[in-house]
Structure 1
Amino acid sequence: MKETRLMLAAAALNQTPMDWDGNLQNIKEAITEAINNRTQLLLLPELCITGYGCEDMFLSPWISEVAFQKLLEVKEWCENITVAVGLPVFLNKSVYNTACVIKNKEIVGFTAKQFLANDGVHYEPRWFTPWPAHEVQEFEMMGKRYQIGDIIYEEQGVKYAFEICEDAWRPNRPAERHMPKGVQLILNPSASHFALSKTDVRYRLVVDASKKYQCAYMYANLLGNESGRMIYDGEVLIAQNGKLIRRNELLCFKNVDMECAEVCFSENPEIAEVIEYLPPIDENNELIAALSLALFDYMRKSRSRGFVLSLSGGADSSLCAVAVAEMVRRGIHSLDLLNFVAKTQVFSMRDAAAFEDMSEEEAQKAIVSKLLTCAYQGTVNSSDDTYNSAKGLADSIGATFYNWTIDDEVKGYVSKIETALDRSLTWEQDDITLQNIQARVRAPGIWMLANINNALLLATSNRSEASVGYATMDGDTAGSISPIAGIDKAFIRQFLLWAQKELGYEGLQYVNNLQPSAELRPAKEEQTDEKDLMPYEVLNQIERLAFHDRFSPGEVFHILNEQQVAAPDLLLDWITKFYSLWSRNQWKRERYAPSFHLDDYNVDPRSWLRFPILSGGFRNELQHLQQLVK
């Protein structure tokens, strides 16, 4: 084999479903940058012309027709370069997820995805048809004929082929068939969603494949919050023969993030540069990077002018506030001040000039003050500790902060119902009612601020609360986006300690010294979340075993009992409470504002976990368990 050197490039793109102009602008920017870098072969992410998250719109034939028209525009930008670009192809009443190869303004062929993701957050078989191995067909589009299927391509004597995202995650992956045919390079265009520590798995998938098949392997993922719930980390990897050659910084705020490398193809290829990969992953840093980028994209793609937050002084709302502050800090670091300000689509040129005259810290706080408005809405049951926590954090990050009480509104509603019922409401008889009205009365005022500011209202419920319905509908669940509904409470609490120490958010010192509490009962009762429910660590263990690992209630009990989590009787009470509350509160999870997928699972019925609104509530299983234990 003679030695051949190819300049390869892969680019992460921040796309949006059916944003034809925006998506093509990013593709054009990537192609231009690749040409300027003397690139010979450029890989772009999966379905990057349409966006990956078009969902049922993929079933509309006109979407594929428009995508093909846009492909013909892209083709004209590919002078003296080969580019792989993703789009759907509608063929024989089926939709195929394809990567199209364009070489010097000519379409060479379309490789169609063979394995469709159908677990967790993925529903690809609903829209796409898998392509059979080894098969190649021809189809006609707009008067020309094209090849589609399981194609092997060639660039300057180097044979290459594709694994499209899920293809690479299967035991009988396409690479197994490609290697005996002399393929030396695998291209993987992906839309692989973010989850904590997933990058470590993806790295091994790419690097191990390059070692096993003694080939070069190039991977390009989507970037950012593409369509609302999923976040993409924009990972770009280039590896050869088990060695990592290029890897980018994940979760950046750019529209296009590219890596280039000259790769040698020969019997014993020379690998000049090797990047050292250093696990383990810092999940706290991963979380805030993903959360801040997701909020930024959600804000600008929804054309909103910032965020409004009911800042209670507790852990959940404090994390939401820090996420917006980090959005500003990380965005400026990734794009620089003026580019970040411009990309928000919120500020005037006069604002930008004023920010530029400030110190870095002053500019960040000034921007946060425009993008984040907070309000502390106290009652007679609120404590000075939570007010000081909310005010201290808001002041430390620069957020606009308001403070008002809602006692008059609560009294008004209580009085109306007491008059209607002709009796007094009491904590002994009407505990839930008197708690919930306080949470609900907080919603109208904070919604007013969101409307006035043309901003997104941040709902503050977390995954642990969602699991057991420990949240008031139209109260703390009110919002346009529920950014932390995919994160459990135990993780949030340790994250805030980390953020105070590692990120320097000293304003978190107040909340980090408080025990989580809804503060809805009279202060003398010393209400805490864990007293109402159970220890959050236990709640999270039950939740994960039940719905991530899919064990029965009895199996969950035996696993936790063997771990001596608690005395058997107490553990039984907690498990019974969890399953009872879970079943009773599915309707709440159905009504949550859109949330981000951040962990390796979530409880959102519109993305990861479907459960019937009406069910038997695990009654038989729990009764049987009680008989066994007692």
Structure 2
Amino acid sequence: MSRRCTLATCQLNQWVLDWDGNRDRIVQAIIEAKSAGARLILTPELCIPGYGLLDHWLEDDVYTHSWDIVAEIMANPDCQDIIIDLGLPIQHRGRSFNARVITLNGEVLAVRPKLDLCNDGNYREMRYFTPWLRGKVQDYNLPPVIQQLKRKQIRCRIGDVVFETRDTSFASETCEELWTPKSPHLDYSLEGVEIILNSSGSHHELRKLDTRINLVREATETTGGVYMYSNQRGCDGDRLYYDGCALIAIHGQVLAQGSQFSLRDVEVHTATVSLKRIWASRTSRSRGMQGNDPTVREFERVRVDFNVCHSSQLSGSKYSPTPPRAPRYHVPEEEIALGPACWLWDYLRRSKQGGYLVPLSGGIDSCATAAIVFSMCCLVIQEVQAGNAVVIADAERLYGDHIDNSITPQQFCNKIFTTVFMGMKEQSSKETRERAADLAKAIGSHHVNTNIDPMFNALSEVVTSVLDFTPKFKTSGGSWSENLALQNFQSRSRMVLAYGLAQLIPSSRGSAGNLLVLGSANVDECLRGYLTKYDCSSADINPIGGISKTDLKRFIAWAEIHFNLPILHSFLTAVPTAELEPITESYVQSDEADMGFTYDELSTLGRLRKTMKLGMVGMFEELLEDWSGHMKPRQIYAKVADFMKFYAINRHKMTTMTPGLYLESYTPDDNRFDLRPFLYPVMFPFERRKIENMLRQMEEGEVSRN
């Protein structure tokens, strides 16, 4: 007996509370899996309602509606003769659980709740769900909508179970359980389970994919057997982009891998595996002894009267084992080009708005934002040319006309994307104005070139009349406060103008709807607070809010070549400047000089503070070693002290930050990821005393040695 089976996993672009759409995408995946000969399909975590519901998980309706959709899938004629692993929330004995419901031919085989909940970083699962205890199994009373189906099934088993078909065995694992030190698949494997199914809602973070793939490969390399991984993909309504990459692996080798970034709503991947080959990887005597250890739990087995494997006659010819393939990884520059672009497309089409607008300053940040929108347009045209009906329908709504294969990304960009240069006669250089116009021409955006002097002057005159005091820039002898206030007059005027244009440009061009305003503040500037509250950092969404300046520069260099945009080189060589102060023969405003930090230094400090979870003293101690080659201890102390001072002073700005796509581990987004106070003892006197004592001891020791 060959024992060959075709297994299917998928990645679905689900949307929170889009009940009909989520159901239809699941059904489409099941149909595609069956057409490839699969008899088992894995779907993403909580794919019925969508993953990112947040406090909607506290609503009883969500649980009821989820079972309604399960019942419709179970009764669908196209969803028979295949084992389906579905993700939804369930209620049981007064508690709520993040669960898998495994069905076959109109019957619920069992419910498998999640054992290890993700409760850090972007995730708050324990706010909504209860973790299930390992090894625990009970009866579960199915809801009326399931009891009314053809089989009239009243109850099933719920808990940490193993499924045993006529010809193989499988067990479910859910997302976080793969990342824990004691993953359930270890015990499942020692109990002889051959196929592990992991459904996930894992978000995209720069440079994260290799860790995830390595975990899957290690799981099969250590334990033998097959590991299947399914993930959501796309923007389901929040600050995360779920990046797909569904996997099927065996013996440490990848057999199938889904794309990480794509505009396709449904993507199914199958692999044919020979289960007979698992035996060879499990013949180790030490493994046998571990499996025989009395501390290894015996699992309750749910018997399934169904064949997962193909018949011997078919498997010898039609279903040959899928050969291994090398995993596919994107470089970080590609991740920036593709991830935010896909997220922007989902946001635009699902919000039913008319397009995007970005204030284009001539600097790196707004340039990167514009390049990402152009990347989105390129992806849309690729899918149009590939005949993607869903993308074509959304694109034609935005374009306002029929779209065929002759349309270019620049033509599409011109219809849905407006760039605006909002300059000042004395502050804005000719070079930045020309760079902005040249970039707009290269990507095809509808470009507006204007000055905000009338707005600035009007506001200045009002303030002067109210106070009977005329503020001046520091180049004209003004104080620090005057200089800062005048800069903020400009930046806040730009925000007001940006929203006015976003509402009226479609009408002026004969189109309907509004434009969404894009922010372009990078993660380092947010961390340092180097932005004006309610200026152009205040927007509808911010695609680069979770990307460091260092990575943005690398992305621009990559995009110059891969998007054939030579104009981008001039943005890389320009000195970063906000151009909020008058330019004189001896003075041009510089961002890094204003901040007192290089962008690389801010990235380092941000990672120490958030990712390494270090306070002020811990950061100083760490940097004593890392920066000792180019900085003295007192200089390091000054950097750390200044960083913490500005972080504390500006922390309140994070409470009103534009929702930004999360991509970096030290994102300071107060609303979701960085749950810290916004009122601090600014000078951190206790921490400063400790560091000063350390410095005194170091300097005294240096003197004694000399």
TM-score of the alignment, normalized to the shorter chain, above 0.5: yes
Which has the larger displacement, 230-239 or 501-510?
A: 501-510
The one-letter code matched in structure 2 to 1:619 is P
**Cα deviations by residue, 1:468-526 (Å, 9 ceiling, x for unpaired):** 21111111212100111111112212221222133322221221221110101111221
1:529 lines up with 2:591 in the alignment? yes
* Conserved? CA contact 2:164–2:170, under 8 Å: yes
Distance 1:372 1:349 in 2: 14
In structure 2, the residue corresponding to 1:613 is in which secondary structure? coil
The one-letter code matched in structure 2 to 1:184 is E
Counterpart of 1:484 in structure 2 is: 544
Distance 2:399 2:580 in 1: 42
In structure 2, the residue corresponding to 1:263 is in which secondary structure? strand
Distance 2:539 2:266 in 1: 31
Counterpart of 1:446 in structure 2 is: 498
Distance 1:435 1:177 in 2: 62
The one-letter code matched in structure 1 to 2:527 is S
Distance 1:275 1:501 in 2: 28
The one-letter code matched in structure 2 to 1:405 is N
1:319 lines up with 2:365 in the alignment? no
The one-letter code matched in structure 2 to 1:526 is V
**Cα deviations by residue, 1:139-191 (Å, 9 ceiling, x for unpaired):** 22214212211121133421000111011111221112212322100000100
Compared CA separation, residues 345 and 102, structure 1 to 2 (3 A): farther
Distance 2:583 2:377 in 1: 37
Q: How does 1:49-448 map to 2 (within 5 A)?
A: 49-77=48-76, 78-140=79-141, 141-142=143-144, 143=147, 144-266=154-276, 267-268=279-280, 272-277=322-327, 281-334=330-383, 336=385, 339=388, 340-344=391-395, 346-347=397-398, 350-352=401-403, 355-358=404-407, 363-379=408-424, 380-427=426-473, 428-429=478-479, 430-448=482-500
In structure 1, the residue corresponding to 2:52 is in which secondary structure? helix
Distance 1:43 1:510 in 2: 48
* Conserved? CA contact 1:338–1:356, under 8 Å: no
Shift of 1:398: 0.2
Counterpart of 2:290 in structure 1 is: none
* Conserved? CA contact 2:546–2:664, under 8 Å: yes
Which has the larger displacement, 614-623 or 492-501?
A: 614-623
Distance 1:583 1:573 in 2: 15
Shift of 1:221: 0.5
**Cα deviations by residue, 1:300-353 (Å, 9 ceiling, x for unpaired):** 12122210110111111001100010011123324536633323463467331x
Counterpart of 1:499 in structure 2 is: 559
Shift of 1:444: 1.6
TM-score normalised to the size of structure 2?
0.85
Distance 1:278 1:37 in 2: 23
In structure 2, the residue corresponding to 1:87 is in which secondary structure? strand
**Cα deviations by residue, 1:389-437 (Å, 9 ceiling, x for unpaired):** 1111110000000011011111111111111111221222211101111
Compared CA separation, residues 335 and 9, structure 1 to 2 (3 A): farther
The one-letter code matched in structure 2 to 1:598 is L
Compared CA separation, residues 252 and 557, structure 1 to 2 (3 A): same
Compared CA separation, residues 451 and 502, structure 1 to 2 (3 A): same
* Conserved? CA contact 1:392–1:510, under 8 Å: no
Distance 1:348 1:502 in 2: 25
Distance 2:352 2:483 in 1: 41
- Moved beyond 6 Å, runs of 4+: none
**Cα deviations by residue, 1:233-288 (Å, 9 ceiling, x for unpaired):** 11111011222111122111101111111111113499550102366x51111121
Shift of 1:386: 0.7
Counterpart of 2:610 in structure 1 is: 547
* Conserved? CA contact 2:19–2:48, under 8 Å: yes
**Cα deviations by residue, 1:89-136 (Å, 9 ceiling, x for unpaired):** 012221111111111222211111000001111111001110111111
Which has the larger displacement, 174-183 or 254-263?
A: 174-183
Shift of 1:72: 0.3
* Conserved? CA contact 2:272–2:321, under 8 Å: no
Distance 1:526 1:66 in 2: 60
Mind listing any 5+ residue stretches in structure 1 that lack a counterpart?
none
The one-letter code matched in structure 2 to 1:399 is S
* Conserved? CA contact 2:385–2:405, under 8 Å: no
Distance 1:80 1:259 in 2: 18
Shift of 1:569: 3.8
Counterpart of 2:649 in structure 1 is: 584
Shift of 1:13: 0.2
Distance 1:580 1:509 in 2: 35
* Conserved? CA contact 1:388–1:510, under 8 Å: no
Distance 2:272 2:693 in 1: 68
In structure 2, the residue corresponding to 1:63 is in which secondary structure? helix
Distance 1:600 1:5 in 2: 42
Shift of 1:543: 1.6
**Cα deviations by residue, 1:69-94 (Å, 9 ceiling, x for unpaired):** 11000112321111111000012221
* Conserved? CA contact 1:120–1:601, under 8 Å: no
Distance 2:582 2:552 in 1: 26
Which has the larger displacement, 415-424 or 317-326?
A: 415-424
Q: How does 1:594-609 map to 2 (within 5 A)?
A: 594-609=659-674
Distance 2:495 2:549 in 1: 22
Compared CA separation, residues 73 and 539, structure 1 to 2 (3 A): same
Distance 1:9 1:130 in 2: 27
- Which residue among 570, 574, 581 is the counterpart of 2:639? 574
Compared CA separation, residues 626 and 344, structure 1 to 2 (3 A): farther
1:558 lines up with 2:624 in the alignment? no
In structure 1, the residue corresponding to 2:401 is in which secondary structure? helix
In structure 1, the residue corresponding to 2:397 is in which secondary structure? coil
Which has the larger displacement, 609-618 or 302-311?
A: 609-618
**Cα deviations by residue, 1:175-222 (Å, 9 ceiling, x for unpaired):** 122123221000001001111121111111111111111111110110
**Cα deviations by residue, 1:542-572 (Å, 9 ceiling, x for unpaired):** 1211222122223322332332343444333
Distance 1:626 1:472 in 2: 33
In structure 2, the residue corresponding to 1:483 is in which secondary structure? coil
* Conserved? CA contact 1:45–1:222, under 8 Å: yes
Mind listing any 5+ residue stretches in structure 2 that lack a counterpart?
148-153, 282-319, 507-513, 697-706
The one-letter code matched in structure 1 to 2:245 is E
* Conserved? CA contact 1:557–1:572, under 8 Å: yes
Distance 2:646 2:680 in 1: 12
Shift of 1:356: 3.4
TM-score normalised to the size of structure 1?
0.95
Identity of counterpart residues, as a percentage? 29
In structure 2, the residue corresponding to 1:163 is in which secondary structure? strand
The one-letter code matched in structure 1 to 2:591 is D
Taking only aligned residues, the RMSD between alpha carbons, in angstroms, comes to 1.8
The one-letter code matched in structure 2 to 1:96 is F
Distance 1:335 1:214 in 2: 42
